[in-house]
Amino acid sequence: MNKRLFALLSLLVVASMALAACGSAPAATEAPSAATEAPAAQAGGAPAACSDALGCAVFKPGDSITIGLGAPMTGDNAGFGIDADNAMKLAVKDAGDFQGWKFALISEDDGGTPEGGATVANKFVSNPSIVAVAGHLFSGATGAAVPIYEAAGIPMMSPSATNPALTQSGSKVFNRNAFTDATQGVYAAEFIYNTLKLTKIAVLHDGQAYGQGLAQVVNDEFVKLGGTVTTFQAINPGESDYSAVLADISAGKPQLVYFGGYVAEAVVLVNNFKQAGLAGVPFFSDDGVYGQDFLDRTGANGEGSYGTALIPPASAAKDKFDAAYLAAYGEPAGKLSPYSWNSYDAATVLIKAIESVAIKGDDGNLYVPRAALVAAVRATSGYEGVSGKVTCDATGECAASGPVFYVDHNGEWVLP
Amino acid sequence: MNKQIANGLRVGLTFGIVNIFLFLIKFPVIAGTIIKKIIPNFIVALFPINPDILDILIFIGLIGIWAGASGGRKLDEKSDNWLTSFVGGAAAGLVNALLIGALVFILGSLTDAHVKINAYLAAILPAVVKLFLLDQNTLNGSLTQFVFSFVAGALGGVLGFAFRGQWFASLKNKWNAAWASLTENPQIKKTFARPIARIALSALGIAFLLFIPQIAGKYWNYTIGTVGIYVLLGLGLNIVVGFAGLLDLGYVAFFAIGAYTVALLTAPNPHHLMWNFWTTLPIGVVLAAAAGILLGIPVLRMRGDYLAIVTLGFGEIIRILATSDLLTSFTGGPRGVTAIGQPTLFGKPFSSDTDFVYIIFIGIAIAIFITIQLRSSRIGRAWEAMREDETVAQAMGINTLSHKLMAFAIGAALAGLGGVLFASRNQFTGPEDHNLMVSINVLSVVIVGGMGSIPGVIAGAFALKGLPEILREVQDYRILIFGALLVAMMIWRPEGLWPTARRSMELHSADPEDPESGEAKTSEDKP
Amino acid sequence: MKETTLRAKSSKPLSAYRLIQALLGALFAAYLIWRFYNVFLDGTPSYGADSWLRFAISGVVLGSVYALIAIGYTLVYGILFMINFAHGDIMMLGAFSGYFVFEALEKIPSPVIDNPNQVFLNAHPVISVLLAFIVGATVAAVSGYFLEKIAYRPLRGAPRLVPLISAIGASIFLENAALLLFGSQRHDFANPVQITRGEGWNIPINGEVVILPYTGVLTIALSILILVALYVLVQRTQLGRAMRAVAENKSAAALMGINVNGIISRTFIISGALAGSAGVMWGIHLGLVYHMVGFIPGIKAFTAAVLGGIGNIPGAMLGGMFLGIIETMGPAYLGMSFQLKDVLAFSILVLILIFRPTGLLGEVLSEEKV
């Protein structure tokens, strides 16, 4: 037993040594002259702004000022991460260089899960050259990551984490330029009741944080307005046949089916409508569904379906971005996920904020005061991005526009 | 000679097909980047070409040399010489190069014809094809690729012969001798055998373990913590699978019960009970164990694979219930539970990632203690007898059901402990933390490490949860590599990384030709 | 090992357990009767006949797909006693092959005077579908062969957990290889226009029209056809006899001059072809192909195989149908959310295994081995 214990102990030691040895490795190998934290009392060139507890990020000439992106890059939802990464790379490229320093983007896979979010956040805060995070994308991962960034003083700008609770906990670092589920749900219920003049709907969701929250809001709001919800049902995401649950819904004879969830399930649902006896009943869904994908893959079945978009109004900036995206990746913006424009703006807002607070020290290094940067991001006001005018309120809500409802007509999203 | 050529052609075909697959997933681009990190910078600087193309060439070159070396490998003792090696390598290189060249040519022509290949093959963007063509036009690019791979193959054949030559063998012998003289030296052995030396080294080791979290930094402490929790889970499942031989694919259910217990009792939402962490910890463990017993009573009578599918179902049931509308008001639904209570020590918070590493270490120590005590006890021997032959065990008067239940309950309790620590450390738990993949990962930890072996579980957890964090460069490919490694591991080292002595003996004494020998092996009693 | 005898021996001292079993059964039956009263007799019924018919159609079609996959599971399990975890992923490969066949045929023009833009796919739907099945089954069969050769054959004789982990590894590998090759987006099967998904015969009932989809009927017909063909193969042919002999006792079979490895290889080829056909069928009926398409159906199909009695080919068919119907009609009958259909399915599995430990139709296994 003694011998075993000994073997065990030595293994533990070796394993942790290996981990610890790697602990210092990334910073050292990835950027040989990596930026280092400037302690409050550092002599020589450090500006006064660095004297608070969070200090400054220091960039030697030739270093890159880095923005992090935590997003699902593998698995079912990889499309969201890849799209955000694509758009943000363009933002970094468009930012050009700032007084001789270049910007860079590091994307890490958080799988969209809370565990992954925390892992990536810990990795980012250990990298001194990361000053801001344009993410995370999913609400679950974001929720787990916020406290970690809060402690390190790294400002966030998420293009797509829409869980209302995220901005209600009083976080200083968390901002988002997407409208929340609560906003969207209320708008949608009002639109169905007041504009479409329908009183009997069925509400369906995909059992995930985003869709479930949204469906709940729509359900409550619709009942409050005086409508009837015939069925409130949930599906398991990732399946290929929902005809049974739709048959259940059709038994209640609703005038419309609201669905909170993502495009993958929405396509299956809409294609199952006819078989389930719901032919002619309009399908109404959220911004996780809006996109070219839905149109392409539902074809004639999708005619008359409603989608919610955060697609910005046409502008010169948007056209330019769309063209650049298409040229760089061979696919139009908004195809992989509806958050292309928000992603670009999220990264750009962060870059502008960095530029506004960065100070070139007397020693030729660039200093980015972290506390000032957190405040600068929150103070963003009137920035004209591709998604519209981005202005943040005191809680970190920076959505450029409210939800707009579109209807699928002849394979195109048009205003109803 | 003919045999050598045939061998070369066959090897070339295998390599070519694997290469086509790797090209289609864009692997050469990334692999080259990593290889280049190992090669000193000044050598890279000697080739003043586009670095992305250099990456590809390095990768293809190395694979080509490997193909050549195996194509020209020694088939029999007599006819192994420079010529046969060269011819075999060249044959392998030729086939490999033909396939690569053809693939690149096809991709290039399709791109020239403006076919959108990436609608079907996601990785093959026009820019990638351009890299594959080495920035030349389609014909020249594919010809260059062909010639390059062919030369690499022929070179590989010759190099292979050189390396298996005399001087290489003697080098290997010398190294082995040096290693043996160090490890087999009676003086050194004696020194290490002294209790004083052992205690001193152990103390040193413990001191070192206690010291590491102080220097490791936030991210690596977090990773060490995650690995530690998997060690804990692995030790628990090790009792169920490794000792008692019960295949449990729903182990995550008990992990979830522990996590949700601490979450619901300490978090402000959805119940606002706000209990103390240390009070909820034993509750979580006990509840998980109770769930283990409750599930165990009906299902433990089932045979191995039925048990597997039923436990798998149980894991899914727990996850679906946690996320369902039915229980949303109770469990927090798909959003999960946030702001979970964290441990305190003497009234001060004790919850940084560093602190948690210590807590998890203590948990592991307890689990190891329990495991060792159980293994050498009556119960442990009963488990072992049961695992080897249940009928005989029963005939010997062992109450198999109650022993199985005990294994199940202890395993579940450790999973519950892991769940409690996991939820509290992350300050979050939700249904997605408890999916089927967790069960499969923990099972893999146990098997890869070595069933029944405690150091094996630690090594397995480190290999499966720690290494992927270190290898983040290949993040798109790491799960693919993980899958391939699992298969390779089972083929070449089924006893695990750090097996118990007996198990490794069992697996290796078995005659691989005889399908029955592995199962029919009788076992001696263990001291 | 030798557990059947054990069970017989141990049944006596466990009379308390038997009592609980009976009690549970009675409770469950009472609940079902109460639900029956609630759903059909009490006041206004929750669902009309049209709804029930829709549930039934969905259930039977889904069940046939499960059955198709489950037969492959059962075949391999019956011979090697291992859970081929990668079976669902072989099905995924078959589905992708079928998808590519349809995509290619859609690009081949086949103009006629009435319709100058007609493509081959729509001009020759029967040939197209057959071609998709042939290619899908072939690709899957070849993959099955190599899967066995690379990942399982070296492990013959190892403890049973070893090939299981190898299978899990192979499954992870195949899923991620498909992810990296074909991307994460879901691809849509382009069916010939004659069997467009969602189109079918209209059945008027209860003042409503219920659609019996063409693709659904094709699925049911195919699975019955394959079941019969396979049953004949296993029971009546030389190969079938050899397979049963290998299942019974590998070393004895080898002594009788049977090439054990060859038979096992062939079993994997057959089960791969079945998975491939199931994949193409899946694509034609449900229309979606992506890298994880085989994962959930794989697990469900294994559940179905166990439900029916593993190793038992008609049992796999029955288990698949049973599972499909439970998933679609069960939640409606019991008045629960459809989100919980898997909870229901797995609970039924546990219940059935408690009452009938060898599945609905009983297992066809060699007792010695298991």
> Does the distance separating the beta carbons of C310 and B305 come in below 8 Å?
yes
**Å between C6 CA and nearest CA of chain B:** 7
How confident is the model over A307-334, as a mean pLDDT?
86
- Highest mean pLDDT among A333-342, B171-180, B310-319 belongs to B310-319
Sign of CA dihedral A116, A117, A120, A122: negative
Question: C346: which 2 tokens?
Answer: 């797995």
Whether residue A21 lies inside any domain: the answer is no
Nearest to C295 by CA among B316, A414, A406: B316
Find the length of chain A.
416
A386 neighbors A345 (Cβ within 8 angstroms): yes
Last residue of a domain, one of B174, B205, B232: B174
Report residue C288 CA to chain centroid gap: 17
Last residue of a domain, one of B148, B174, B200: B174
Torsions phi, psi of C4, nearest 5?
A: -60, -45
> Does the distance separating the beta carbons of A4 and B205 come in below 8 Å?
no
Is pLDDT above 60 for B156? yes
Is pLDDT above 60 for B518? no
Q: Are residues B130 and B229 in the same domain?
A: no
Is pLDDT above 90 for A90? yes
Q: Are residues A276 and A294 in the same domain?
A: yes
Q: Are residues A299 and A377 in the same domain?
A: no
pLDDT score, position B525: 34
Q: What band does B509 get if pLDDT is binned at 50, 70 and 90? A: low
> Does the distance separating the beta carbons of B334 and A209 come in below 8 Å?
yes
> Does the distance separating the beta carbons of C156 and B512 come in below 8 Å?
yes
Give the helix ranges, DSSP H, for A197-333: 209-225, 243-250, 263-272, 292-298, 316-329
pLDDT score, position B526: 33
Whether residue B125 lies inside any domain: the answer is yes
pLDDT score, position B428: 83
Is pLDDT above 70 for C212? yes
Other C-beta atoms closer than 10 Å to the C-beta of B210 total: 12
Q: Are residues A208 and A277 in the same domain?
A: yes
CATH code, domain carrying B404: 1.10.3470
Q: Can you say whether residue A330 is alpha, beta or left, with left for phi > 0 and alpha for psi between -120 and 50 degrees?
A: left
pLDDT digits (tens, 9 = 90+) for A373-408: 999 999 998 888 898 889 999 999 988 777 888 899
> Does the distance separating the beta carbons of A293 and C62 come in below 8 Å?
no
Q: What band does A75 get if pLDDT is binned at 50, 70 and 90? A: low
* Cα dihedral B99/B103/B105/B106 (nearest 10): 130
> Does the distance separating the beta carbons of C185 and A239 come in below 8 Å?
no
Q: Are residues A115 and A223 in the same domain?
A: no
Q: Are residues A303 and A369 in the same domain?
A: no
- Least reliable range by pLDDT among A317-326, A348-357, B41-50, C316-325: B41-50
What angle do helix axes C15-36 and C341-355 make, rounded to 10 degrees? Answer: 140
How confident is the model over B12-23, as a mean pLDDT?
91
Question: Residue B324 is nearest to which of C10, C340, C357, comparing CB atoms?
Answer: C340
SS3 A414: strand
Question: Is B194's Cβ below 8 Å from some Cβ in A?
Answer: no
Question: Residue A235 is nearest to which of C200, C332, C338, comparing CB atoms?
Answer: C338
Q: Are residues A338 and A214 in the same domain?
A: no
Q: Are residues B341 and B472 in the same domain?
A: yes
| Touching subunits for chain C (3+ Cβ pairs under 8 A) | A, B
pLDDT digits (tens, 9 = 90+) for B371-381: 999 888 889 88
Q: Are residues B169 and B222 in the same domain?
A: no
Q: What band does A13 get if pLDDT is binned at 50, 70 and 90? A: low
How confident is the model over B498-520, as a mean pLDDT?
54
pLDDT digits (tens, 9 = 90+) for C98-140: 999 999 998 888 888 888 888 888 888 999 999 999 999 999 9
Question: Is C330's Cβ below 8 Å from some Cβ in A?
Answer: no
Question: Hey, which residues 359-388 in chain B have their CB within 8 Å of chain A?
Answer: 368, 372, 376
- Least reliable range by pLDDT among B139-143, C42-46, C349-353: C42-46
- Least reliable range by pLDDT among B44-48, B293-297, B395-399, C169-173: B44-48
B133 neighbors B108 (Cβ within 8 angstroms): yes
Say if the ipTM goes beyond 0.90.
no
pLDDT score, position A275: 86
Last residue of a domain, one of A309, A337, A364: A309
Q: Are residues A87 and A161 in the same domain?
A: yes
Question: Residue A140 is nearest to which of B201, B368, B430, comparing CB atoms?
Answer: B430
pLDDT score, position A17: 53
pLDDT score, position B238: 92
Q: Are residues A261 and A216 in the same domain?
A: yes
Q: Are residues A169 and A187 in the same domain?
A: no
> Does the distance separating the beta carbons of C282 and A293 come in below 8 Å?
no
Question: B22: which 2 tokens?
Answer: 């790797």
User: Looking up tokens 């290796």, which residue turns up?
Assistant: B508
> Does the distance separating the beta carbons of C260 and B25 come in below 8 Å?
no
Q: Are residues B310 and B457 in the same domain?
A: yes
Question: Residue A301 is nearest to which of C47, C198, C292, comparing CB atoms?
Answer: C198
pLDDT digits (tens, 9 = 90+) for B387-432: 878 888 888 888 888 899 999 999 999 999 999 999 998 888 888 8
Q: What band does B516 get if pLDDT is binned at 50, 70 and 90? A: very low
pLDDT digits (tens, 9 = 90+) for B319-332: 999 988 888 888 88
The whole domain housing A95 covers 39-179+318-390
Q: Are residues A100 and A206 in the same domain?
A: no
A112 neighbors A138 (Cβ within 8 angstroms): yes
Instruction: Give the count of domains, chain B.
Output: 2
pLDDT digits (tens, 9 = 90+) for B346-364: 878 887 888 889 999 999 9
DSSP A311-325: PPPP-HHHHHHHHHH
B300 neighbors B307 (Cβ within 8 angstroms): yes
pLDDT score, position C131: 95
Q: Nearest 5 degrees, angle CA C84-CA C89-CA C94?
A: 120
CATH code, domain carrying A250: 3.40.50.2300
pLDDT score, position B465: 84
Last residue of a domain, one of B149, B174, B199: B174
Q: Are residues B310 and B451 in the same domain?
A: yes
- Least reliable range by pLDDT among A90-104, A335-349, B46-60: B46-60
Identify the burial level of A11 via C-beta atoms within 10 angstroms of its C-beta, where 0-12 means exposed, 13-18 middle and 19 or more buried. Answer: buried
Q: Are residues A145 and A172 in the same domain?
A: yes
Instruction: Give the count of domains, chain A.
Output: 2
The whole domain housing B132 covers 2-174
**Which residues of chain C lie closer than 8 angstroms to B390, CB-CB?**
1-3, 6
Q: Are residues B273 and B384 in the same domain?
A: yes
Least CA distance to C255: which residue of chain B?
B514
Q: Which residues pair with C201 in a beta bridge?
A: C212
Q: Are residues B352 and B495 in the same domain?
A: yes
pLDDT score, position B168: 67
DSSP C119: B
Q: Which residues pair with A106 in a beta bridge?
A: A68
Q: Are residues A358 and A254 in the same domain?
A: no
Question: Hey, which residues 22-81 in chain B have their CB within 8 Å of chain A?
Answer: 37
Q: Are residues B271 and B148 in the same domain?
A: no
Sign of CA dihedral B276, B281, B282, B287: positive
**Which residues of chain B lie closer than 8 angstroms to A73, CB-CB?**
475-476
